[in-house]
C-alpha cells in the first residue's frame, strides 16, 4: 500500500479501537490525513496523539446514528482538510444472545441503527464531497457473519448482510454515475476487539 494514500484525506468511523484504530494508524503511516471519529472521547484522542508523532490526524466525537452529526462532521473535515478521498465506514456493535427469542426489540433497533443506518448515513453524506474531489474509495466493514450467518448473532448477521448488499448496490450506482469512486465491503472473521466487550 506504500504511497497509495499519500496526500489523501480519510474519514474512519469507529476509529478509537479495534479494527478502526488499526485502519487509522495504517492510513496515516501511508501518508493520509485521517479524520478519526468515534463516541469514545477517551481513546479517540489517544489514537490521534499516537498518529501525530509521525502523521496527521484529528478526532471528532461522532454518533453515527445522528444525521445532524454526520452533516457537522463532514463539514468540519472539509473545512480542516479541504477534501475527502476515503471513507471507512467501520463503526459497529455486536449483540450476542442465546436465541433470537431473547433479543429485545430495543437491542435489535440499536444494533441496526449503528451497523446499518450509520453506514447509510456515511455514504449519503460522504459521497458528495468525494465526487467534488473527483473520485475516491468507500470501504464498508461487514463481517464473515454477513456472508454465512452465525448462531446467536442473527441480528448482527442481518445488519452485516445488509451492509454487503448495500455496498454492491452503491458500487453499481457509482459506476452508473461514472464518478470514479470505488466501493467495497470487507468481511473479517471473528477478531478479539472491544466490540464484543462494550
* Angstrom distance (rounded) from CA 2 to CA 4: 6
- The 3-state secondary structure of the chain reads CCCCCCCCEEEEECCCCHHHHHHHHHHHHCCCEEEEEECCCCHHHHHHHHHCCCCEEEEEECCCCCHHHHHHHHHHHHHHHCCCCEEEECCCCCCCCCCHHHCCHHHHHHHHHHHHHHHHHHHHHHHHHHHHHCCEEEEEECCCHHHHCCCCCHHHHHHHHHHHHHHHHHHHHHHHHCCCEEEEEECCCCCCCHHHCC
Active site residues: 156
Amino acid at each position: 500500500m506504500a504511497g497509495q494514500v499519500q496526500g489523501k484525506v480519510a474519514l474512519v468511523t469507529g476509529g478509537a479501537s479495534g479494527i478502526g484504530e488499526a485502519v487509522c494508524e495504517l492510513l496515516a503511516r501511508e501518508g493520509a490525513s485521517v479524520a478519526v471519529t468515534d463516541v469514545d472521547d477517551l481513546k479517540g484522542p489517544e489514537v490521534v496523539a499516537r498518529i501525530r508523532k509521525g502523521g496527521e490526524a484529528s478526532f471528532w466525537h461522532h454518533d453515527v446514528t445522528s444525521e445532524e452529526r454526520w452533516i457537522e462532521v463532514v463539514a468540519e473535515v472539509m473545512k480542516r482538510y479541504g477534501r475527502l478521498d476515503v471513507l471507512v465506514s467501520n463503526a459497529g456493535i455486536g449483540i450476542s444472545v442465546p436465541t433470537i427469542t431473547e433479543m429485545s426489540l430495543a437491542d435489535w433497533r440499536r444494533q441496526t441503527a449503528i451497523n446499518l443506518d450509520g453506514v447509510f448515513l456515511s455514504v449519503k453524506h460522504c459521497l458528495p464531497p468525494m465526487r467534488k474531489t473527483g473520485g475516491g474509495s468507500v470501504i464498508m466493514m461487514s463481517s464473515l457473519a454477513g456472508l454465512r450467518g452465525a448462531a446467536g448473532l442473527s441480528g448482527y448477521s442481518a445488519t452485516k448482510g445488509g451492509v454487503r448488499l448495500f455496498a454492491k448496490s452503491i458500487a453499481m450506482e457509482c459506476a452508473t454515475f461514472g464518478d470514479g469512486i470505488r466501493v467495497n465491503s470487507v468481511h473479517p472473521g471473528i477478531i478479539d476487539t472491544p466490540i464484543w466487550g462494550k
